[in-house]
Amino acid sequence: MADFDLDLDALAPESKKVKLGGKIIEVSPPKFKNLVSLMKTIGIIEATEGGTSSQVDAIEELRISLLPMIPALADDDTDLSIEQLKVLLQFVMRIAQPQEVEQLQADGYKVGKVEKKAEEEVSAEQSPTS
C-alpha cells in the first residue's frame, strides 16, 4: 500500500521535442514558478514600445525564463529568431495547459467560469460578417 493519498506525479504532463538548428531538443512543461516568470516577462514585453532597449532586455529575460524548460537555449550555438522565439513560447504555454482545458475551450466553454457559450454566440463567431 502507498504512503500517500494523491499521486500528483501521475498528472504531470510529458516533455515534448522540437527541432532547432538541426538538433532535436527537449522541452519540459513549465512548472508553476516558471509560468509566473514567463507571464511577468510577457507583460513587460507587451508594455514596452517596439525597438526600445527595454524591450530588447525583456526579450533576453524571456530567453532566460525559458531556460529551466529548455536547457539547450543556454548553448552558445543555439540561437533563435524573434519568430522562432514567439512560436516556441506559444508551444510552451500550450503544453502547460491540460488537454481537458483545451477540449473545454474547443467545445465553447469559457475556462474559469465553466459555462457554455450560447449556441448563437458560437455560430455568430464562426460565420463571416457582412
Q: Give dist(CA 15, CA 89) in Å, integer.
A: 15
Q: What is the DSSP letter of 3?
A: S
The answer to whether the predicted template modeling score (pTM) of the entire model surpasses 0.85 is no
Q: CA 44, 80, 78 angle in degrees (round to 5)?
A: 120
Q: How large is the average pLDDT for residues 102-120?
A: 58
Question: Which pLDDT value is given to residue 114?
Answer: 40
Q: Give the per-residue pLDDT at 129.
A: 54
Q: What pLDDT, in 10s, does the model give residues 5-45?
A: 888 877 777 889 999 988 899 999 888 888 888 888 888 77
For position 24, what pLDDT does the model report? Answer: 93
pLDDT in tens, 34-51: 888 888 888 877 777 665
For 49-69, b where at least 16 C-beta lie within 10 A, e where not — what string? eeeeeebeebbebbbebbeeb
- The overall average pLDDT reported for the chain is 76
**Residue 101 pLDDT level (bands cut at 50, 70, 90):** low
